[in-house]
Amino acid sequence: MICYKSCAKCSGDQMLESEWYGRYLFCLKCLHVTFPKAASNPFLPS
């Protein structure tokens, strides 16, 4: 999933990824990584 213009550092587009330890957002422009809280969006599958 891509979140457009949501990077706090550069206002670039972020992409939601998941791995063994959980989900994270990383910016496609500056590669800034953000770890969202699990309860922030209850509609995403866990």
The pLDDT profile of the chain, 46 residues, written as one tens digit per residue, is: 888 998 989 999 999 998 888 889 999 999 999 887 765 555 666 5
CB 7 within 8 A of CB 32: yes
pLDDT score of 27: 94
pLDDT score of 28: 94
CB 43 within 8 A of CB 36: no
pTM recorded for the entire structure: 0.67
pLDDT score of 31: 93
Helix (H) or strand (E) run with residue 2 in it: strand 2-3
